[in-house]
Structure 1
Amino acid sequence: MKFKIIAIAAMFPLFASAQSSSFTISGKIGNLNKPVTVYLDYKDDGAGREDSTLLVNGTFSFTGHTEGIAVARMSLGHNGEGKQLSIFKGNDDIYFYFSNENMVINSKDSLINATVTGSKVYDDYAAYNKTIGGSIMELDRVANNEFKSGTPAQQKDTAFIKAIDMRFRKNVALRTQKQIQFAKDNPDSFFGLVALSESVGAKMDIERTEAIYNAINDKWKATALGIAMAERIQAAKTVGVGDVAPLFTSKNVNGKPISLADYKGKVVLIDFWASWCEPCRAESPNLKTQYKLYKDKGFEIISISLDTDRKRWLKAIADDGLTWLQASDLKSLTESVIAKKYGIGAVPSFFLIGRDGKIIANSDIQGEALNKRLAKMFNN
């Protein structure tokens, strides 16, 4: 069982600041050989790139060029299982920022335990993480290790699981507070902008966020992340509780249009998700229950996938037995027009729309909060 409560899809916006050199990311992971494979995915100035290489006596190397500070995910496939399965398992992957530098990654056995040298950008990122109490992945590992350390009986005990979950959420909330303070204190740092972007959820404090953003150094505002942050602030001004939900049209699994306008008069839950998002899929059983309870009473769900791989999207729908409306333009979080309209910074994100087309709730309207709201609406 995993406690991946929050998906950091926002780990993949990219940020430009003109550079002219190239980068090298090299390393050594023990003495591992094929089929062990290193997978590298990164985005630079909004453009996604990927590469992979087999380990040879533990060594690997990637070279290329970035236009600025890039954000990356590196995963290690120990059994040659392929990138997607390696990422989905999430057992040995790291996220980091880098630029045109010579980064070196070394470890005796795994990426998770690796040390990184040679990159000032990475050092700044590490210092930022230390200040805010660690990355989401680190907090996630702590929660998972707590679960794994429990006895078989404890791992079946809902009280034991709930206690771990509550500690995780408390740590995430504290981290968010520290990120907001970091953004306030470091307007000239690129990671001040990162902190602001990561700390803002669907229920944005617009006045506070805009004030912090306005103080950010103009060179960071001009990056892809800075522009995206400005767009999110503007979108948040139009998707608050009581606002009319922005209309959209997308394509279903058969390529036919699904339009929000067609469902006025119903209570609609807009569910932003992706096949690779564990917390999204962890919510699916609850959504199935709620849909079964209320679909004949005027409740509809429109799930908007931010997958870019059609096969993985369709497979997730089939594997999870999702029977409500499924739509996707096969655009990523940073490219989806619908996600931008709703100011989505990460998945899962939810918006509950009333019969009059106005937003009733957002952000935390999932799980028990959703269940209670729907019961009140349909059982009165």
Structure 2
Amino acid sequence: MRAQILLITLLVLLPFPLFAQDEVVIPYKIKGYLEGIGNGKVYLYSYDKSKGLRVDSTRADNGDFVFSGVVLEPVLTYLLARSEYYSSAVSFKKQTPLQFFLENGYTFMIEGRYGTLDKAMVSGGLINADYKRYLNAIQLANGEKNVVESKLKNASDEDQLTLKKELKKANDKLFLQTIQFIKRNPNDLLSAWLIGNVVYKTSSMQVVEQCYNSLSAEVKQSAWGKKLYTQLYAYKTMQKGTMAPDFARKGVDGKDVYLSGFRGKYVLLNFWTSWCVTSRKDNIMLNNLVEQYSDKNLQLINVSLDKNLDNWVNAIRSDKLLGANVNAFFKDKEGKLAASYNVRTLPLQVLIGPDGKIIGRYNSAENLHKSLDSVLK
């Protein structure tokens, strides 16, 4: 199954620091009470694009708990709790987490009960107020989607086809209401987040650009707004016939790899990861293609998005990858190389001509093969 680069998995958007070096940052604070957890533990999960998954925890005192900290930018956060009365790991994992946005400088009040964390009351922060309005706006469509998804779990093979059509209609309705919310609320920072984490994942870049253009100038200058601009710019520079962004990276063998150093050759960029099954299958096909076109002046550069360098190196050895091998995150926590090529899904191959211009982008080695036959004939 093709790996999607998404919100908490891999939506590649460059992080922009929000704080100047001399700026005083006021930490956020969370004060909460959860009935039914006693002296259990409370957990906060969030995703930092430069550090990965972040987990914070604290011990409750008869249900009361406190968190404090600083975030690089407003971030969607998930809260879970482990009750001292229900120690089963199964009951812990079955919980639906509470979702809310953390922002520096605000105190957040949370009140709820164990077992129904997703229904807990949250107050505090500008974005959470907008988020509540958004959830209210999509409540009916979201409810329809949940009902159909529930029916699908126990549906017969005969009923599944009908229910899947109903689910598509519900998702289309939900998507349309999200677009309407964005365009009706151009001054909301949440609108930029929705574009990057809902519209971006499920629609074309043309729709993303339309939504971005509807944002106010102030929201466009926010960290989330700047990320969207970066992605749109990368998309526009990735079209057929445009110059491929140059880069320089250390190869796995320690040698420097410059894209411009291969000018005069056809260059094939292969974006992949060790954990993507489809990528690993494509690696085998790409090795075969390199050997097949060995007399056609073709250079393969494999660009891994692995953050674990040991997994990356082991996968290279296992797949016996030909060509140059570089890592997008080696000495670059932001992964600018992947962002500059607008990597949205894996695997991805980009074919570049001898003149340094992009010939095409492909989401499988099989599709690439058909293009190579015509280009390198």
- Shorter-chain TM-score category? 0.5 to 0.7
Which residue of the partner structure matches residue 69 of structure 2? 64
CA displacement at 1:31 relative to structure 2 = 2.7
Aligned counterparts, 1:107-126, within 5 A? 107-109=113-115, 113=118, 115-119=120-124, 121-126=127-132
Paired residues of 2:192 and 2:215 also in contact (CA < 8 A): yes
Structure 2 stretches lacking a partner, 5+ long: 83-92
Displacement of 1:117 in angstroms is 1.4
- In the other structure, the counterpart of 1:83 is none
Q: Is the 8 A contact 2:36 2:114 kept in 1?
A: yes
Name 2:89's counterpart in structure 1. Answer: none
Q: Structure 1 vs Structure 2: percent identity of aligned residues?
A: 19
1:40-91 per-position Cα deviation (integer Å, ceiling 9, x unaligned): 33559x9989452254466643113458x6113437597xxxxxxxxxx999
TM-score, length-scaled by structure 1: 0.65
**Does structure 2 conserve the Cα–Cα contact (< 8 Å) formed by 1:132 and 1:175?**
yes
The one-letter code sitting in structure 1 at the alignment partner of 2:102 is: F
| Structure-1 separation of matches of 2:163 and 2:261 | 42
Distance 1:144 1:301 in 2: 42
Task: Give the match for residue 43 of structure 2.
Answer: 38
Question: How far 1:260 moved relative to its partner?
Answer: 3.0
Could you tell me how far apart the structure 2 residues matched to 1:147 and 1:244 are? 47
AA aligned opposite 1:288: N
Length, aligned pairs only? 343
Structure 2 CA distance for partners of 1:63 and 1:327, relative to 1, 3 Å: same
* CA distance 1:29–1:211, change in 2 (3 Å): same
Q: 1:233 to 1:55 in 2, by over 3 A?
A: same
Letter matched to residue 297 of structure 1: Q
Say if 1:269 and 1:353, in contact at 8 Å, map to a contact too.
yes
The change in CA–CA distance for 1:167 and 1:347 in structure 2 (over 3 A counts) is: farther
Instruction: Report if aligned partners of 1:351, 1:360 keep a CA contact under 8 Å in 2.
Output: no
Please give the alpha-carbon distance, in whole angstroms, between the structure 2 residues aligned to 1:311 and 1:90. Answer: 33
Point out the more displaced range, 320-329 or 240-249: 320-329
**Offset at residue 24 of structure 1 (A):** 2.3
CA distance in 1, matches of 2:338, 2:94: 25
**Counterpart in the other structure of 2:271:** 271
Query: 2:348 is matched with which residue: 320, 344, 350?
Result: 350
Take 2:107 and 2:217, find their aligned partners in 1: how far apart are those partners?
24
Contact 2:100-2:122 within 8 A present in 1 as well: no
1:242 and 1:359 in contact (8 A); partners too: yes
Distance of 2:35 and 2:137 partners within structure 1 = 28
Partner of 1:291: 286
Cα distance change on mapping 1:257 and 1:182 into 2, 3 Å = farther
TM-score with structure 2 length normalisation? 0.65
Partner SS for 2:232: helix
Partner of 1:101: 107
AA at the equivalent of 1:219: E
The question of whether the paired residues in 1 share the 8 Å contact of 2:130 and 2:188 is answered with no
CA RMSD of aligned residues (A): 5.2
Q: d(CA) in 1 for partners of 2:313 and 2:99?
A: 27
Render the CA deviation track for 1:263-285: whole Å, top value 9, x for unaligned.
5634514426586xxxxx24324
Computing the radius of gyration from Cα coordinates, the structure with the larger value is 2
Q: What is the CA deviation profile of residues 7-36 of structure 1, one whole-angstrom value per residue up to 9, with x for unaligned ones?
A: 2234985785999754223453853877x6
Q: Does 1:366 align with 2:367?
A: no
The answer (yes or no) to whether the contact 1:14–1:43 under 8 Å persists in 2 is no
Is structure 2 residue 205 aligned with structure 1 residue 204? yes
2:185 is aligned with 1:186: yes
> In structure 2, what is the Cα distance between the partners aligned to 1:135 and 1:250?
47
In structure 2, the CA distance between the partners of 1:284 and 1:182, relative to structure 1 (3 Å rule), is same
Structure 1 residues 66 and 39 mapped into 2: Cα distance closer, same or farther (>3 Å)? closer
Amino acid aligned to 1:353: L
Tell me the CA shift for residue 249 of structure 1.
1.8
